[in-house]
Amino acid sequence: MTRTVVVAEAGVNHNGSVEMAHRLIDVAKESGADVVKFQTFSTELVLRSDTPLVAYQRKTGAETMFDLVKGLELGKEDFAALKRHCDTIGIEFLSTAFDLPSLDYLVGELGMRRIKIPSGEAVNVPLLRRAGAKGLPIILSTGMCTLEEIGFALDTLRAARPKEEVDFTVLHCTTAYPTPVDEIHLRSMTTIRDRFGLPTGLSDHSEGFLAAAAAAAMGAVMIEKHFTLDRDLPGPDHRASVDPAGLKTLIDAVRSVEAMLGSGEKGLRAIERDTIRAVRRSLVAARDISAGETIREDDLVALRPEDGIPARDVDLVVGVAAWADFKRGEVLKWPAR
């Protein structure tokens, strides 16, 4: 069975502090995440100064989206240090690039192993083309996307690729922070998988760990989850994130679900062998039966344990002449041969 990749999404929950970003890396590693992900951008290349805040961002107290995002920006040297930290402790570094120079830097200078396309950039053709041209595995988030737009994004990425095959993972996502439980729509993963024939997963913005565990049970190959050092910190994403204990709980739940899913084979398990004889039944004489009598079904009762003729073989016994005397309550056993 394929192991679900858990991406711990630090995002901008460092609040512009590289020290906090390093702490987030340590938390991701300690929690058992496979990947820790940030967001890399130059604010001036992402949005205009008059871009309005969306509802969940207004709660931060920021006056403009530009000011909010600018305060969350880290520099190239910061990301280089974060990448070195990840390499040192053994967790994969990943960062979403929101502009072309950031993408070139992450892949060309930091050697990022795969590319993440966020939901908001799924129809950004220049970024898609640049990403596709890198020839790396691509993770595509699809919040706010129609199936037609997902197909458009995939076609654009494929058209730009330098080689025949590119490894795609498509993440279902509902872009709402936090996402109410009735707006998660996990079955959309199956819809995407069936439509495009690609591995699918979940970028989860709901509260808690239940959606992630359910997604794992439905075959998600990747789960991405925002996390923070403290959900009460100021900033746009903290309230829609899990804290360190919550991240550990989520990852433990995903791993437990993987173990529960098992191999798919059905049969007697070694762990069941001690129980099977105790709970299955043998045929027992319901009355005294004399040798030579024809055994009727009402002459028999099925009782635990299974240490004689199994109850499943009742039709082999009924109508047969008794091969020995059986006292009432005696377990029937076939004669020695």
pLDDT at 248: 99
Over residues 112-138, the pLDDT tens digits come to 999 999 999 999 999 999 999 999 999
Residue 56 has pLDDT above 80, yes or no: no
Residues 6+ apart with CB under 8 A from 320: 294, 295
- Dihedrals phi, psi of 20, to nearest 5 degrees: -65, -35
Residue 61 has a pLDDT of: 67
What is the tens place of the pLDDT at every residue in 128-166? Answer: 999 999 999 999 999 999 999 999 999 999 999 987 777
| pLDDT at 67 (0 to 100) | 85
Task: Over range 269-281, report the average pLDDT.
Answer: 97
Q: What is the pLDDT of residue 282?
A: 99
What's residue 165's pLDDT?
A: 77
- Using the predicted structure, report yes or no on whether residue 280 has a pLDDT greater than 80: yes
pLDDT for 1 beyond 70: no
Contact criterion met (CB below 8 Å) for 128 and 152: no
Residue 129: the pLDDT is 98
pLDDT tier for residue 55 given thresholds of 50, 70 and 90? confident
Q: Which residue type is seen at 82?
A: L
At residue 80, the pLDDT reads: 99
8 A C-beta contact, residue 15 and residue 241? no
Q: Please, what is the average pLDDT of the chain?
A: 96
Q: What is the mean pLDDT of residues 69-79?
A: 96
Average pLDDT over residues 254-269: 96
Query: Is the distance from CB of 69 to CB of 41 less than 8 angstroms?
Result: yes
More confidently predicted of 61 and 252: 252
Res. 179 pLDDT band, cuts 50 70 90? very high
Q: Which pLDDT band holds residue 38 (cuts at 50, 70, 90)?
A: very high
Mean of pLDDT values over 175-186: 96
Q: What is the pLDDT of residue 321?
A: 98
pLDDT score of 85 more than 80: yes
Is it the case that residue 217 has pLDDT exceeding 80? yes
Which parts of the chain fold into alpha helices (H)? Answer: 18-31, 55-58, 65-70, 76-89, 100-108, 125-133, 147-160, 187-196, 210-217, 244-261, 273-279, 314-317
Summarize the confidence of residues 231-260 as an average pLDDT.
Answer: 96
271 is written with which tokens?
């762990």
Confidence (pLDDT) at 78:
99
With a pLDDT cut of 90, the percent of the chain lying above it is 91
CA–CA gap between residue 24 and residue 8 (Å, rounded): 9
Higher pLDDT, 309 or 54: 309
Full set of structural domains in the chain with CATH: 5-261 (3.20.20.70), 268-337 (3.90.1210.10)
- pLDDT score, position 107: 99
Is 80 exceeded by the pLDDT of residue 62? no
Find the mean pLDDT for residues 53-65: 76
Percent of the chain with pLDDT over 70: 98
Beta bridge partners of 39: 96
